[in-house]
Amino acid sequence: MFRDAALVCGKDLRIEVRSRVTLNQVVPFAAVVVILFGLALGPDRKVLAPAAAGLFWVAVLLSAVLAVQRSFAVESADDAREGLRLSGLDPAGIFLGKVAAVLAELLVLEAVLTFAVALLYGAHLQQAGLLGASAILATIGLAAIGILYGAVSSGLRVRETLLPLLFLPIAAPVLLAATKSWDISLSGGDGGAGTWLTVLGVFAILYVAIGTLAFGPLLEDR
Amino acid sequence: MTAFAGTGSSGAVGATDPAQVGASPATAPVLPTGPVPGAGTLLPVSRSHVRAAPALRVTGALAVLGVAATVWLGLFVTPDAVNFGNLVRLLYVHPPMAWVAFLAYGVAGLSSLLYLWPRTRDRRVDRLAGASAEAGVVFTGLTLVTGSIWGRPTWGVWWAWDPLLTTTALLFVLYLGYLALRRVPGDPETVAKRAAASLVAFLDVPIVYFSVTWWRSLHQPPTIDLAGRHLYVHGSMAWTLLLGFVSFTLVYVWLVGHRYRLARLRDEESSHGLELALAERRQEGAT
């Protein structure tokens, strides 16, 4: 299963390295969102800095929708989906591989976006360990739900509109917990971060498990 | 093939649907669950197709009576409450609606789990999940509306970011997405599988509730504090509340029964349509 996951992840990342769609389109999109938030809230750093964590994660959420759509657009071209089914790879492995690829892409995006937020909103980057840990846990959860719902809506004519409707409300707890945890570290506070890391961790485990189990039925007979 | 030819008593395909919708007015949004084959073809329509089962009709009658009695008791018989005045009359409808909303989601979630498990995979379970989710969305909407009406005079705002309210609102949006997914036409089994997979993921509802609770508790105590205002429910009020629960549950059973029946008829219709088309092709081949 993990060997299959590594194969699928490698394939997706190789496509990304060669096509650079995430790097050239999704990352700039996230930057646009961050700039638009700045315009909407005004230039006052007293307003922007406290809101930085929430705005950052909303931008990540919106970009995640695009990253997931890209991940399944790759499969729908040239009937690659049939090829994947006929390859005999374990469905759970395919799921984990695609999650890992989206996870890697989103983490790169978040790294870029973190500096954008620090620069534009004047957020103080402190407690890098907490920032990193919550970002990784949150992104695992986001990637897992994203791939699960990407599979649910893939192949449908209405997938572009359906995926955000299904994905974003489910991701609400991730937004909440990740924002809180980032708030704590950006403001230099200390207490309470453990709760949010637990929420993010439970969420990540739950959705990786559900996706691993449900991906098989979703992939078969289409 | 004469069995399929329309005689005087059989109706056209299109004619059956308005009759069923008319029988349950609250189920107005008719969701096309699949492609309608050959709109001009005729199906055998028996009496049992057009009329609901007696038990369902009795449930419907009881539900209407129960709601009417709740209205009468709630508006005219029960007294005002000490701290709430006339506002307390919302109590007879709001909690029962919320209960039915969560019951509906429980039933839908359980049926979806059963559908995903290969040994209990059955079209009937999928129909039940769809019917229950539809009723659930209606009751969640009503819960949110009545809750807002309660909130405005009680807390001075139409909306508060309370855990229960936030969770209910998210649940509402989640199920709108689920119903949108069910509406997408396709092979029935694939549609059902997709829907079931997406519904199981709604396990996140408890996580939403707890995370909003913690999120709020860092700022201020929970907004809804019925106990703090000493609302004692007793006498005729308690009976009316109980009646509200029973009659709204009956309304739920009634609505789900009808939506289930409609889904079954649609399935039958599409399979009959297929048989009909196959038979026609065979006949063409024979001549």
Q: Are A218 and B197 a contacting pair at CB < 8 A?
A: yes
Average pLDDT over chain B, rounded to an integer: 74
Phi, psi (deg, nearest 5) at residue B85:
65, -140
Residues of A in CB contact (< 8 Å) with B are 145, 148-149, 151-153, 156-158, 162, 165-166, 169-170, 172-173, 176-177, 180, 192, 195-196, 199, 202-203, 206-207, 210, 214, 217-218, 221-222
Nearest CB partner across the interface for A221, out of B116, B170, B190: B190
Answer for the pair B33, B269: CB distance below 8 angstroms, yes or no.
Answer: no
Bridge-partner residues for B12, per DSSP? Answer: B42
Cα–Cα distance between A54 and A64 in angstroms, integer?
A: 15
Interhelix angle B236-286/B94-116, nearest 10 degrees: 40
Cα–Cα distance between A98 and A146 in angstroms, integer?
A: 10
Rg (CA), chain A: 18
Answer for the pair B74, B88: CB distance below 8 angstroms, yes or no.
Answer: no
Cα–Cα distance between A217 and B211 in angstroms, integer?
A: 31
Whether chain A has a CB inside 8 Å of the CB on B217: the answer is no
A157 token code pair: 């004519």
Cα–Cα distance between B145 and B266 in angstroms, integer?
A: 32
Sequence letter at residue A38 = G
Which residues have CB under 8 Å from B89's CB, separation 6+?
B74, B75, B78
Q: Are B198 and A195 a contacting pair at CB < 8 A?
A: no
How many angstroms separate the CA of residue A208 from the nearest CA in chain B? 11
Query: Domain count of chain A?
Result: 1
Q: Which domain holds residue A170?
A: 2-219
pLDDT in tens, B7-36: 333 334 434 444 443 444 444 445 455 454
Answer for the pair A215, A148: CB distance below 8 angstroms, yes or no.
Answer: yes
pLDDT in tens, B64-75: 999 888 888 888
Which helix (H) or strand (E) is A138 found in, with range? helix A128-153
Sequence letter at residue B62 = L
**Would you list the domain boundaries of chain B?**
55-286
Whether chain A has a CB inside 8 Å of the CB on B186: the answer is yes
| Mean pLDDT across B153-158 | 80
For A14-53, b/e burial (b = at least 16 CB within 10 A) is ebbeeeebbeeebbebbbebbeebbeeeeeeeeebbebbb
User: Highest-confidence range of A39-53, B106-120, B148-162, by mean pLDDT?
Assistant: A39-53
Answer for the pair A21, A70: CB distance below 8 angstroms, yes or no.
Answer: yes
ipTM above 0.90, yes or no: no
pLDDT in tens, A88-139: 888 889 999 999 999 999 999 999 999 999 998 888 888 888 889 999 999 9
